[in-house]
Amino acid sequence: MIIIIPARRGSTRLPGKMLVDIHGEPLIWHVANRAKQAGRVIVATDDWNIGKASGCEHVLTSDCRTGSDRVAQAIGIMGIPDGEIVVNVQGDEYGMDPDRIIQCAELTQVTYSWATLGENQPDGVRVVRDGSLKALYFTRHQIPASLRHVGIYAAPAGHFRRFSNAPQSEAELAESLEQLRLLHMHEHITVGTAVGRSGVSIDTPGDLKRLDLWDRP
């Protein structure tokens, strides 16, 4: 298993968020070092400053449409074999439990397809799954019988290549959710129920204020 963290320089809602200071270290450092507890980590970024700040192995990528496209580019640069399990951990997922990374990788090892996680939280991107844990739809809107989608994906490396070679779907563009491209491609996505403690997705200045509560024991 290889963990790849896509971390781009641009961010409209929180400029420079990958390098924003949290307890004396940049956000990307916290995310990468937490992920190291689960396995080998590579940060895929369009900014060497972010790569260096992560404190771990990193690779420079060009401009990409989505985080998973950036992961696919890093897979090509690093020459990672198609069969290697790759876990995409979003660079703004502060405090993600390393057990969730392992859980997602294990789901992929069983199905040899895509895997992600959901949890019973009221906010965030929603995912609906059927009785066999197959993803039916992802959305930014509140809908019944849905879970909060956790910012993590796992699949064999070759699946990321196939994803990146496909055109963006209308639903993906409308919702700004890359996983909808997979559903448009008729890819199977298993949605496990996340173990361990939830982290905090850092997207806005308000999310930084939530960290004071999250970090309390």
> What CATH number does residue 16 fall under?
3.90.550.10
For residue 132, tell me if it sits in a domain: yes
165 membership: H or E segment, kind and range = helix 157-165
Contact 191, 127 (CB under 8 A): yes
Residue 12, pLDDT score: 65
Distances (CA, A) of 95 to 19, 99, 162: 16, 11, 30
- Which residue range forms the structural domain that includes residue 97? 2-197
145: number of CA atoms within 13 Å, CB side?
8
Ranges under pLDDT 50 in the chain: none
Question: pLDDT tens, 92-106?
Answer: 999 999 999 999 999
Distance of CA 214 to the CA centre of its chain: 20
Q: Is residue 94 part of a domain?
A: yes
Asked, for residue 93, whether it belongs to a domain, the answer is yes
Residue 53 within a domain: yes
Predicted pLDDT at 217 = 53
Amino acid letter for position 79: G
CB 212 within 8 A of CB 148: no
Hey, which residues does 155 pair with through a beta bridge?
Answer: 86
Q: Does 217 reside within a domain?
A: no
Classify residue 203: in a domain, yes or no. no
For residue 56, being part of any structural domain is answered with yes
pLDDT value, residue 9 = 86
Q: What is the pTM of this model?
A: 0.94
Quote the pLDDT of residue 202.
83
Measure the CA–CA gap between 138 and 199, rounded to whole angstroms. 20
In a domain, 40, yes or no: yes
Domain count, the chain: 1
